[in-house]
Structures are given as C-alpha cells and as structure tokens.
Amino acid sequence: MHRYKDLKFWQLSREFCKKIYTFTAKFPEEEKFGLVSQLRRASISIPSNIAEGASRKSNKDFSRFIEIALGSCYEVETQILISNDLNFMPDNHCKELLENLEVIIKMMSKFKSTLKE
C-alpha cells in the first residue's frame, strides 16, 4: 500500500478540483446539469482514483487506478476546452487549468512508469 496523501500529484489534483469548482460556479445556470456536473465529477475522479488505487495490495492494481485517473484528466481537459469554446470560461482560466492539469498528468505518468507489475 502507498501513502497517497504524500503523493504530490494527489495533492495537486485536490487543488485542481477546488479550482474547477470555483471556476464552474460562474457558468450559466442552464449548465448546472451539463458541463458543470461533468467537469466536477471528472475532476473529483482524479484524486479519488489515486486514493483508491493506493489502497490496493499490488502495484498492478494501483497502476490500473492511475490509468483511470489519467483518463479522467483527459476527460477534464476536453471539457475545459469545450467550456472555453462556448465562452463559459475565460482564456486565462482555461490556460491556468490546462497548465495545472499538464503538471499532474506528467507526474502521474512518471510515477506509473515506476510501478513494477
């Protein structure tokens, strides 16, 4: 088992999730059950899957949960871009979130490559 709270990419993914909640609070009301819900659920999935995977007994299982978390990162990335396309998110917020996400993805990918299966 791994100590997920010590993993920097888990810590960053929690901060990222908080930013998603803050930025989506400004979206149009009619998006409450659309992009707002999708973005929030996908962003929550990132640290949640890291934590769940860390509880597994094998590195192979943990690696699979890291893959799921990475999938959620790319899902969020797409939704951020669509939000920007629809003018729900200003360019500066979009850029900030995408840069944050890129750091998380790189850290997770590197960590995943160290897990021996």
Rg (CA), the chain: 15
Give per-residue pLDDT as tens, 51-106.
Answer: 999 999 899 999 999 999 999 999 999 999 999 999 999 999 999 999 999 999 99
Confidence category of residue 116, pLDDT binned at 50, 70, 90: confident
**Would you list the domain boundaries of the chain?**
4-12+31-112
- CA distances (Å), origin 3, targets 8, 17, 27, 38, 66: 11, 20, 35, 28, 14
**Which amino acid would we find at residue 54?**
A
Q: How many CB atoms lie within 10 A of CB 62?
A: 23
Q: What is the DSSP letter of 32?
A: T
CATH fold, domain 4-12+31-112, is: de novo design (two linked rop proteins) (1.20.1440)
